Copies of this chain bind each other. A is one copy, B any other.
């Protein structure tokens, strides 16, 4: 699948294909889409606290979150 437009803001920390090279930031590649979707919604809705992730997630719709989750889940974990 093509990279969703909103994924441009994820790349800096999580890598182009979701294989973060920074040990503090989780790899997203190959992760379960359902889990990624929950994580993004939790950040957006304040159930999971992280100032950076909250900033990015708060402007995402349910549909955009689903697209991002499915994109990263479909990438190969390296």
Give me the interface of A with B, judged by CB distance under 8 Å: 20, 22-27, 29-35, 38, 47-49, 77
How far in angstroms is the closest Cβ of chain B from A60?
19
- Whether A35 and B31, one on each chain, are in contact in the complex, defined by CB atoms closer than 8 angstroms, is no
* Interface SS majority for chain A: loop
Q: A33 with B23: in contact, given A47-B49, A48-B48, A77-B77 (CB under 8 Å)? A: yes
Partner of A34 from the list B24, B29, B38, B49 (CB cut-off 8 Å) is B24
Q: Do B38 and A32 touch across chains, with their CB atoms under 8 A apart?
A: no
Partner of A27, one of B25, B32, B48: B32
CA distance A20 to B27 in the complex (A): 15
Known: A48-B49, A49-B48, A77-B77. A26 touches B35 (CB 8 A): yes
